[in-house]
Amino acid sequence: MLLLRSFFKIFSKFKQSKSSTSYNLNDPIIITQVIRDFGNLMLKKKITSTLFYDTKLLPHPKKVIIQCLVLGAEYSQSQSEKENNKTVLLTIVPCFQENVGKIPISISNNQNKFLLFEEKHNSDILLFKKLLNIKPC
């Protein structure tokens, strides 16, 4: 709980942010929707903590997502939801940075090469995966 309160203090300054002025973060329905939209993005794009992604992919401003995850954890009755929100705050949200571009950046050079190849040769990617016996997604 102490960690959660620390997050809340650190990110409370975002309440004054221009990007969050159109969000009523006193409304639990809006908080839930922002968290749900972010979760859907994670599933749809298969977001992992081993890559850096551009903030342009986010369904809402990063600051608003952070606020909603903190508030969601703070007010949740479920211990598993609280833990999930904390985990996402610490591992997934930091992976979204500005000016990354369309191709995610990886710590692994091999993964970067594959992502570059996939971006440049998108029309041939199924053939490439077939040759390497990789099942298409």
For residue range 63-101, what is the model confidence (pLDDT) as tens digits? 999 999 999 999 889 999 889 989 999 999 999 999 999
- Cβ atoms 82, 76 nearer than 8 A: yes
**pTM across the whole model:** 0.66
- What confidence score (pLDDT) does residue 132 get? 65
Higher-pLDDT residue of 75, 11? 75
Higher-confidence residue: 111 or 105? 105
Largest CA distance in the chain: 53
What pLDDT score does 106 carry?
A: 82
Q: What is the DSSP string of 26-79?
A: T-HHHHHHHHHHHHHHHHHTT--TTEEEEGGG-SS-HHHHHHHHHHHHHH-S-H
Q: What share of the chain is helix, strand, coil (3-state, %, to 5)?
A: 65, 5, 30
The CA R_g of the chain, rounded to the nearest whole Å, is 18
Residue 61 CA neighbour count, 13 Å, CB half:
12
Residue 17 has pLDDT above 80, yes or no: no
What are the residue boundaries of the structural domains of the chain, listed by start? 2-101, 107-137
Mean pLDDT taken over the chain: 77
Instruction: Examine the pLDDT at 130 and tell me if it is beyond 90.
Output: no
Residue showing tokens 């929707």? 33
Pairing assessment for the beta strands 105-106 and 96-97 based on DSSP bridges: unpaired
What's the average model confidence in pLDDT over 100-129?
A: 64
